[in-house]
Amino acid sequence: MPDAGSVAELGEFGLIRAVTENRRQPASTLLGPGDDAAIVATPDGRVVASTDVLVQGVHFRLDWSTPEQVGRKAVAVNLADIAAMGAVPTSVLVGLACPGDTPTNLITELADGMWAEAGRAGAGLVGGDMVRSDQLVISITALGDLRGREPVKRSGARPGDVVAVCGRLGWAAAGLAVLHRGFRSPIGAVNAQRCPEPQYAAGPAAAEAGATAMIDVSDGLLADLGHIAESSNVGIDVRTDLLEVPQRLVDVSTALGGDPLHWVLTGGEDHALAATFPSFADLPEGWRRIGAVTMPDSGLTVDGGPYRGEKGWEHWR
């Protein structure tokens, strides 16, 4: 759209029209933006819901990412949580806070990314709210449908289960290291940090295959497997010989002095899925075994022993 100045000049309702008009909705959206609330079909009779908040300077930087990439990331990190429950994403609600002098084009480009990522997952952007603030803050609420399946929670893992993952690990951490050094390449690693690509269909596929526990890897593989271990009262052992350490991560680590295996084990923001499956289950396409569930007193281990170092991201630490 042509340059419309700032959001204060366009006004709240003008901005809402700018980011919602002429957008396509999936069949699950019975009533989209424009009323007091949206109406979303829930054939299963249950709604899976998740919320995340992204703050400029903490979760994203506009000197590192385009507004479109930030919009995609904001939606992706939320819909990954829906997939991790074994549900199919259906809808997204957006809360947006920004200063009045924010360029309107920045917000419309942000919305373009949100609509694009929601569409990739088969979900609709059905409503939200906009307010004035001192900095750019994005809050996303994502909804999903279980389609008759039981949810896959963190608490179902049992000793003897297989631990598996689907998606990339370590790429976003490598990209963050590159950006912190002031570089913008290799683009594959940098873009992994700017905009994750969760495998949304892998969550429902894991549920169909009998997954006993599942989680979105947002804070690091070890940190998030630790949540499964604690919720399920089990131990988990990760095998490094079963982990994929791509040559590109090795190349980046050589250039920057990092440790590619550490990125794979503890790097967050790739939003892969990690799950446990019965030992007799056939893993769905795209899932790969990386370890096993052990007895409760075993703890979280790597190659049978404790991991020395931080296991992932933790706010306020």
Same domain, 172 and 298: yes
Query: Do the annotations mark residue 50 as ligand-binding?
Result: yes
Flag whether 153 is in a domain. Answer: no
Q: Is 109 annotated for ligand binding?
A: no
Q: Give the pLDDT of residue 314.
A: 58
Is 29 within any annotated ligand binding site?
Answer: no
**pLDDT given for residue 3 in this prediction:** 58
Classify residue 125: in a domain, yes or no.
Answer: yes
161 is in an annotated binding site: no
* Strands of the chain, DSSP E: 29-31, 39-40, 48-55, 88-98, 124-132, 137-145, 162-166, 213-217, 235-238, 272-277, 288-294, 300-302
- The rounded percent of the chain whose pLDDT value lies above 70 is 97
Of 97, 118, 145, the residue that ends a domain is 145
pLDDT on residue 4? 67
Band (pLDDT 50/70/90 cuts) for residue 71 is very high
Residue 316, pLDDT > 50, answer no
Whether residue 224 is annotated as binding a ligand: the answer is no
Domain that holds residue 193: 162-302
Q: Say if residue 227 carries a ligand binding annotation.
A: no
Q: Are 18 and 104 in contact (CB under 8 A)?
A: yes
- Model confidence pLDDT, tens digit, residues 112-145: 999 999 999 999 999 999 999 999 999 999 999 9
Pair (12, 130) in one structural domain: yes
pLDDT per residue over 172-186, tens digit each?
999 999 999 999 999
Q: 73: exposed, middle or buried (C-beta count within 10 Å: 0-12, 13-18, 19+)?
A: buried
Q: How many domains does the chain have?
A: 2
Instruction: Give the span between the Cα atoms of 58 and 50, in whole angstroms.
Output: 20
CATH of the domain at 246: 3.90.650.10
11 pLDDT above the threshold of 90: no
Is 219 annotated in a binding site? The answer is yes
**Structure confidence at residue 9 (pLDDT):** 86
Nearest to 92 by CA among 28, 171, 187: 28
Of 109, 130, 169, nearest to 291 (Cα)? 169
| Residue 269 in marked binding region | yes
Q: Is 154 annotated as belonging to a binding site?
A: yes
Q: Which pLDDT score, from 0 to 100, does residue 129 have?
A: 94
User: Do residues 95 and 181 share a domain?
Assistant: no
**pLDDT confidence bin for 1, thresholds 50/70/90:** very low
Judgement on whether residues 171 and 290 belong to the same structural domain of the protein:
yes
Last residue of a domain, one of 101, 118, 145: 145
Residue 81 assigned as binding residue: yes
pTM for this model (two decimals): 0.92
One domain for residues 275 and 172 = yes
Cα gap 17→12, rounded to integer Å: 9
